[in-house]
Structure 1
Amino acid sequence: MKKEVAVVGLGLIGGSIALAIKKAHEDVVIKGFDVNDNQLELAKALRVVDETASSLEEAVKTADVIIISTPVVQTEMILDQLSELVLKKEVIVTDVGSTKHSIVEHAKNRLPTNVTFIGGHPMAGSHKTGVSAAKPHLFENAFYILTPEKGVGGDKLTELKDLLKGAKATFVELGAEEHDYLVGLISHFPHVLAASLVNYVSSNNQNEGLNVARFAAGGFRDITRIASASPVMWRDILLRNKRVLLEMIDDLKEELGRIRTHIECEDGDEIYSYFADAKDFRDGLPVRSRGAIPAFYDLFLDVEDEPGVIAAVTQNLASEDISITNIRIIETREDIMGVLRVSFRSESDRDRAKLVLDTYFKTYIDD
């Protein structure tokens, strides 16, 4: 008898998980459900799922595993709905939310004892959204964190990992609170900083007649890219990871106080050490590992501003069947080598492009 998996929420993440399961298991039937009928129909047309359901109850009633792939707030609402339905005995329920403590507690309080809930967080994403952007290798070599509660049997954990093996992710088991602190530190908090920096610059945009936005390109635009993320998503994440982020904001005040004191006292040695320590830690980070914040694969080209240069770049890449996600001429180039930035969807595409374009232009890789 074939195992049945219900995927609730057919966006980029849910669709990619479905494709990864299909790739590794021919004996699994995937039934999809989404409140967006267009996404649901598209998922079936693209063969991301085998069957579709017109309601949550229809999707989950015979499922052996239920994967909730929705934003955190919606996930808690779906857990409430599941608690009122008759589910298959010994069913496994998991999610993909980037905060875990609130969801794990909600599941513990709401789901019946014969249901095994294992929190999940695949730490990968894309600049694209929707099921049409789903791909089975989205999570390859990325961390996939699982947060099983004490008492969850090892057989259930093994069953879930085996189901998800097609994702080719690195599974890591953490406690829910440990997860929220870790992800808060290296993902949630950086998004807060990026948004704060952008808002600070925005508030000074027309200060003393200067159009700051015109010059806030180059490095500034790059280090604040994540501020363009979904406001709805980040509202929900910050509210669900409130305690951790409030502590980090207080700690940052002390950290800024340190460098403020060094500047005020004109202590050159301490200022040097401050930046040297940051450089050493940053330079020691793994280059090829995939972390909590999606990577950007950029190539900078040293080209002359002349007619046809962009066409030459795109034509050479097209001849090798290399797709680009963005191309931009950079006016403010402080600390950036090259005048043209070309962005790619993967590291392999960028590396192939460098080989092609090195023949015609001098290129620089952004790490």
Structure 2
Amino acid sequence: MIHKIGIIGLGVIGASLGMALRSCCPEIIVAGRDLDGEIVTRAIELGALDLPLDDQLLAECDLVIMATPLQAMAETIKQIKDHIKPGAIISDVGSVKSWVMQLLEENIPAAIHIIGGHPMAGSEKSGLQAADKFLLQNAAYILTPRPGTAEKPLQELTELLKTIGARVVIMNAREHDQAVARVSHLPHLMSAALVNNLAAKPEFLALAGGGLRDSTRTAASDPDLWQDILMLNRDAVIEELESMLQILIDVQLALQYKDGEMLHRYLQTACTTRKNVPSLRPCLEDARDLIAIIPDQPGVIGIIGTLLGHADINIQILQLLNVRDEDEGSIKITVPGEKAFAACELLKKQGFQSWLLEK
């Protein structure tokens, strides 16, 4: 059983893990360390840790999670490998798994269970201040156990992660790296490309709407972090870039030769596929979205939350879409499908212009 957990590195992922674990598993002791001692103190104050992680406590941990940047992992492993007890589990949260798993297998004693990990959640913001105990809820959490790993430790870690709301997916390291190159690493490069394409015409940024902001959110992420991720997974990323380049060439040719039929097929495929994305999150399969126009004034979102809460309608997602010049804005509210009509009617009765979006 997992009774004590050590988290090394208290950035957005490490601290969010700590918060979620302490919230959902209060019987488990969560300790942590960071290069900055003040961050450890602050993490305890924020509820991400029970106490600091020294070497003595590290030796008592049933699970050790490395949540450091990739470039720090080799040194981290060197510092901790002689302090981890036989039978414990060591994991990580790195975005590249083949390289990390090789590093662990070459340095960690055979009596320690190596189970790589990668939570598919994060933020363009970094550091403890961006941590969120709900960050991993409904997010895929990929585990890459060393071949031959016993069933018991893998099951224990899986159940622990499910307890904090994550969707556990088990695959080997190579499969992971190819998959995340397509769903994470390539999209990050596309986000950066869109922003860099605007560099020559920065005045066009004033015309940008929500679509561009959504498409380029990850471009604001830490360049040092992403340089390491992309370089360490470069073979898989290059393969995905080649595929993307061919797609863009095909679109260019369709426009050049006025092939509207091909262009429509391309756009229709994207439209259909995108509409199916929410179904990958089980808790939102039957959810509905509604739009509400609200005045731009303090407390209005709280009023809406209270209205829906009193009607026993849970807000699953709330997103601020836009604030207009006439001192009003629009929000998108995701609620359980069976209560969507009631939520919309309730807001209308309270004077908020509201409507349901098509599924």
- Bin for the TM-score computed over the shorter chain: 0.7 to 0.9
2:4 is the alignment partner of 1:12: no
- Among 263, 267, 275, which residue is 1:271 paired with? 263
When structure 1 is superposed on structure 2, of 225-234 and 318-327 the one drifting more is 318-327
**3-state SS of paired residue (2:277):** coil
What is the 5 A alignment of 1:301-312?
Answer: 301-302=292-293, 309-311=296-298
2:110 is the alignment partner of 1:113: yes
**Equivalent in the alignment of 2:303:** 316
**Equivalent in the alignment of 1:122:** 119
2:344–2:354 Cα contact (<8 Å) kept: no
CA distance in 2, matches of 1:118, 1:75: 15
**Equivalent in the alignment of 1:43:** 43
What is the identity, as a one-letter code, of the residue corresponding to 1:33? R
What is the identity, as a one-letter code, of the residue corresponding to 1:236? D
**Equivalent in the alignment of 2:285:** none
**3-state SS of paired residue (1:362):** strand
CA distance in 1, matches of 2:146, 2:158: 15
**3-state SS of paired residue (1:18):** helix
- Among 191, 195, 205, which residue is 1:194 paired with? 191
What's the TM-score, normalizing by structure 1? 0.79
**Equivalent in the alignment of 1:75:** 73
2:210 is the alignment partner of 1:218: yes
**Equivalent in the alignment of 2:353:** 361
**Equivalent in the alignment of 2:312:** none
What is the 5 A alignment of 1:1-367?
Answer: 3-53=3-53, 57-83=55-81, 85-126=82-123, 129-131=126-128, 134-205=131-202, 211-287=203-279, 289=281, 301-302=292-293, 309-311=296-298, 313-314=300-301, 316-317=303-304, 328-329=322-323, 340-342=329-331, 357-359=347-349, 360-362=352-354
**Structure 1 position 100, deviation (Å):** 0.9
**Structure 1 position 355, deviation (Å):** 6.8
1:62–1:88 Cα contact (<8 Å) kept: yes
CA distance in 2, matches of 1:69, 1:329: 37
Cα 1:214–1:148 change in 2 (3 A) is: same
Could you tell me which runs of 5 or more consecutive residues in structure 2 were left unpaired when the two chains were aligned.
283-287, 310-314
RMSD of equivalent CA atoms: 3.5
What is the identity, as a one-letter code, of the residue corresponding to 2:150? G
1:139–1:169 Cα contact (<8 Å) kept: yes
**Equivalent in the alignment of 1:334:** none
Deviations 1:271-308 (A, max 9, x none): 22221222222223334618xxxxxx9975557xxxx6
Cα 1:261–1:67 change in 2 (3 A) is: same
CA distance in 1, matches of 2:35, 2:196: 34
What is the identity, as a one-letter code, of the residue corresponding to 1:201? L
**Structure 1 position 182, deviation (Å):** 0.8
What's the TM-score, normalizing by structure 2? 0.81
**Structure 1 position 223, deviation (Å):** 2.1
CA distance in 1, matches of 2:52, 2:335: 34
What is the identity, as a one-letter code, of the residue corresponding to 1:316? I
CA distance in 1, matches of 2:163, 2:103: 29
CA distance in 1, matches of 2:323, 2:74: 44
**Structure 1 position 312, deviation (Å):** 7.8
1:298–1:342 Cα contact (<8 Å) kept: no
**3-state SS of paired residue (1:249):** helix
**3-state SS of paired residue (1:78):** helix
What is the identity, as a one-letter code, of the residue corresponding to 2:49? V
When structure 1 is superposed on structure 2, of 72-81 and 131-140 the one drifting more is 131-140
Cα 1:149–1:196 change in 2 (3 A) is: same
